[in-house]
Amino acid sequence: MTEPIFSPFTIESPTGAKLALRHMPAHGQARAVVQINHGLAEHAARYERFADFLAARGYHVYAHDHRGHGATRAPNSIPGAFAGSGGADDVIADVAAIHALIGERHPGLPVITFGHSMGGLVALNFAQAHPQASAAVAIWNSNFNAGLLGRAGQALLAIEAFFKGSDTPSTILPKLTFQTWANAMKDRRTDFDWLSRDEAEVDAYVADPLCGWDATVSMWRDIFDMIYAGGRADNLARLPKSLPIHLIGGSEDPATDKGEAVTWLASQMKKSGLVNVSVKVLPGTRHETLNEINRNDAMADFAGWLDQVIAPPA
C-alpha cells in the first residue's frame, strides 16, 4: 500500500473508528519509527514540519487524527468527543492499532511513542497499557499534576453531564483552561498567544477550522481520566525501568504551570524506579514547543536524544 507523502489515508481500528493517518517515509535506510500523538483541539497535519525533520534523519513518522478530531470518524464518536462512554480506552486502542500497522509495515524497527500536550497523556497511558511496545517515549508539554483543582473540575463536569448531557461542549472547562491560559499572557494579540511567541504560527492556528474548538463534557472527563491514571505510581511502575523517556516543557507555558508539571512528572517517574528520564524546561517557551521560535533547537535536541537511545543501522 502506498500513499502520498504525509497526506491522510484511512485505516480501520478494531474500535470501529476510521482513523485518518499520515506517513512521512524515512530518507534512506530507516533507523526507527516515530509515532506522533497530537494535542487537544488540533490535528496531525500540523506536525508535517516535524515529520519532515525526522524523516531526513532516517525515521519513518506516523501521525493520526485522534477520534473526535480532524478527519477521523467513529460510529460511537462525534466531533469534539472520543466516544459516548469509555473514550479514553478507545483512544488507546486506536493508538495500538496504528502501532500494529507499523509493526506489519516495518518489522524489526523500534518505535518511539511521541505525544504533545493531550497527546502526551495518550502516549504515556498507551505505554503503561502496553509496556513492551515502545522503544522510547517522548512526552512534551503535558500536565499530569491536576491535583485538587482537577478533582474540582471533574465534579463540575459531572454536574454538567447531569443537567445537559455529555455530548455537548463544556462551558466550564474552557474557562478553567484555555481562557485562563489566554489571560496569563500580558498584552496578548489573540486568545491563543499562550501557544507560541511566533505570531505566524498563532495566526495559522486561529485560522484553522480544525483547531481551537470547545471539547465536549465527555472528552474532558476522558482527559482527566488519562491525567490521573498516567501519573499514578502503580501505573508508572508498569513501565520498564530502563525505558528511555524524553520530557520537554516551557518556562512560560501556563498549561503546565510554567513547566512545573513537567518536572513533577519526571520526579514521579524517578521515584517509581525509572532510570533513563531526560527532562528540560526551555526558557521563554510557551505551550507548543514545535511551533515556537526556538523550535529548531528543540528538534535538534530531540534528534540528539534519539541518536543516543536508538541503535545505529547495521
> pLDDT digits over 185-194, tens only?
999 999 999 9
**Hey, how many other C-beta atoms are within 10 angstroms of the C-beta on 171?**
12
In a domain, 183, yes or no: yes
In a domain, 2, yes or no: no
Q: H-helix or E-strand containing 124?
A: helix 118-129
Give how many domains the chain has, as a whole number: 1
* Threshold 0.85, pTM exceeds: yes
In this structure, the strands spanning 111-116 and 32-37 are: parallel
Band of residue 141 on the pLDDT scale cut at 50, 70, 90 = very high
Strands of the chain, DSSP E: 9-12, 18-24, 32-37, 59-64, 111-116, 136-140, 245-250, 277-282
In a domain, 281, yes or no: yes
pLDDT in tens, 66-100: 999 999 999 999 999 999 889 999 999 999 999 99
In a domain, 252, yes or no: yes
In a domain, 1, yes or no: no
What nine digits make up the cell of 254? Answer: 501556563
In a domain, 203, yes or no: yes
CATH value at residue 107: 3.40.50.1820
In a domain, 209, yes or no: yes
State the number of CA atoms in the 13 A half-sphere of 65 facing the CB.
28
In a domain, 4, yes or no: no
46: domain range?
A: 9-309
pLDDT in tens, 240-262: 999 999 999 999 999 999 999 99
* Average per-residue pLDDT for the chain: 96
What torsion do the CA atoms of 1, 63, 65, 253 make, to the nearest 10 degrees? Answer: -170
